[in-house]
Amino acid sequence: MGLPARDAERTRAELLAVATEVFAEDGYSGARVDDIAERTRTTKRMIYYYFGSKEGLYLAVLENAYRGIREAERAIDVGHTDPTDAIRELAELTFDHHVTHDDFIRLVSIENIHRGEFIRRLDSLRTLSQPAKGLLDEILERGRAAGAFRTDVSAIDVHLLISSYCVFQVANQHTFAYLFDVDFARERAHWRALIGDVVVSWLSAR
Amino acid sequence: MGLPARDAERTRAELLAVATEVFAEDGYSGARVDDIAERTRTTKRMIYYYFGSKEGLYLAVLENAYRGIREAERAIDVGHTDPTDAIRELAELTFDHHVTHDDFIRLVSIENIHRGEFIRRLDSLRTLSQPAKGLLDEILERGRAAGAFRTDVSAIDVHLLISSYCVFQVANQHTFAYLFDVDFARERAHWRALIGDVVVSWLSAR
DNA sequence: CGAGCAATGTACCAGTCAGTACATTGCTCG
DNA sequence: CGAGCAATGTACTGACTGGTACATTGCTCG
């Protein structure tokens, strides 16, 4: 039986997967359409057949990557009654999530180099961003009600702090590691615990 | 009198300045040697005369940018006796420093996309990174002695937290702003104060 | 002042790159 | 089964791109 000689869906999916790797590796301008094609079982012609252009392919990669990551995020469930434990676990799971998806973080960096010019054309992504914020809102509210958290910190504030830290861990590891002689990978447990500590002390202050 | 017809130093400096802009704008692969040359009063030939290759030019840009930023950092002087005030001011000055040097932050992002392959060849930069750490060490020591700071947090920990936050503010502004509908520039005072708060609560915890 | 070399300009090249014209294949459905 | 079209492959192109061969200019120093 083997693989069917023609399978539009498989061809498209394979192109998308390989393109994700190559764009994350080399950036938009650095990526070569011929290179992407050669790494698949099909040809460059198919990229133009399915995605129209290099830019169209990159947009599809971006959208697909964000969709995947948001779906993974939705699976995050911090099942603690204690809001302090919950927030610490959320920070740690976010940390894990980032270090295991460095392809995605690289795509985000690349997109920012382009000042978000491509992502801005993908309206569908904005509605996807809510789950992370919703969960945080709920934990914070419980913490405030219990008198454990201060009341002047918003979900966005916390999300930004955690994101900054976790993104940096991946996105800036090479320059930081080199300049300050730190190996993020070797001391992962230390760096993982740190952000939870920071957020909890901050929210519990006073 | 006017400009001298030939001035090696000026030509070199102009190429370096323009190349910094262009590499920060378009990335390494995206930058065009012809484009850089056209934006100066000299020609492409001079790039090869002074820097040997596109790569040589990029290396020079990187080294120059890091040197400039470290010099600016050395000027940071937090003249407080109170370590808590000092650490807050250090965080805020670091914040200001980042938002006013976005070209540099972009170069750092670009270099990380390349997994630090270029910066690793610039040995001279490692020794430059000490001032930031030295100042922090001193403030932390004073804070611990005064019983104001916890003792299990190192200078690198603090530096990483502050750097993450400040770099993110610039490096990821476009995707974050778009996805979470936040305008970093418009609420700058809020975001500036936040990181100082976080670090101080963290160091003062318990 | 004029020899000699640092500094500069011009014109070009060979390889690369995104994109396409055109032919072909094989699946599906009547 | 066979018509017709979705899917695919091959071979090519024109523009671009990093880099260079070669000529020239003008500053400096004996």
pLDDT averaged per 10 residues in sequence order, chain B, 206 residues:
70 98 98 98 97 98 94 83 95 96 98 97 83 91 97 97 98 96 96 98 93
Torsion A26-A29-A35-A37 (CA) sign: positive
A38 touches strand C (CB under 7 A): no
Determine the pLDDT at residue B1: 41
Are the beta carbons of B109 and A106 separated by less than 8 Å? no
Q: Which nucleotides of C are covered by protein (CB under 7 A)?
A: 6-11, 16-22, 25-27
CB B179, CB A129: distance < 8 Å: yes
A127 pLDDT more than 90: no
- CA A15 to C1' C10, in angstroms, rounded, equals 44
Residue with tokens 């993020």: A184
What tokens appear for B159 in the block?
């530096």
Asked if A165 has any chain B CB less than 8 Å from its own CB, the reply is: yes
Are the beta carbons of B28 and A26 separated by less than 8 Å? no
Determine the pLDDT at residue A2: 43
Rounded-to-integer distance, Cα B16 and Cα B50, Å:
10
Determine the pLDDT at residue A101: 96
Per-residue pLDDT reduced to its tens digit, A153-193: 999 999 999 999 999 999 999 999 999 999 999 999 999 99
Of the candidates A115, A110, A106, the one whose C-alpha atom is nearest the C-alpha of residue A29 is A110
* DSSP E strands, B61-194: none
Of A131 and B135, more confident: B135
Helix axis angle, B54-74 to B130-145, nearest 10°: 30
Determine the pLDDT at residue B5: 67
A1 pLDDT more than 60: no
Q: How large is the C-alpha radius of gyration of chain B?
A: 20
Q: pTM of the full predicted structure?
A: 0.95
CB B172, CB A108: distance < 8 Å: yes
A79 pLDDT more than 90: no
C1'-nearest nucleotide to the CA of A47 = C19
C1'-nearest nucleotide to the CA of B30 = D17
Give the residue whose CA sits closest to C20 at C1'.
Answer: A45
Rounded-to-integer distance, Cα B120 and Cα A181, Å:
12
Residue of B nearest to A162 (CA): B165
B49 touches strand C (CB under 7 A): yes
Residue with tokens 């930023």: B69
How does residue A4 score in pLDDT terms, banded at 50, 70 and 90? low
Cβ of A161: how many Cβ atoms within 10 Å? 23
Average pLDDT over residues A108-133: 89
Are the beta carbons of B168 and A164 separated by less than 8 Å? yes
- Distances from the Cα of B104 to the Cα of A26, B56, B91, angstroms: 20, 18, 18
- CA A46 to C1' C11, in angstroms, rounded, equals 39
Site from A176, A187, A199 to mutate, B interface, most B CB atoms within 10 angstroms: A176
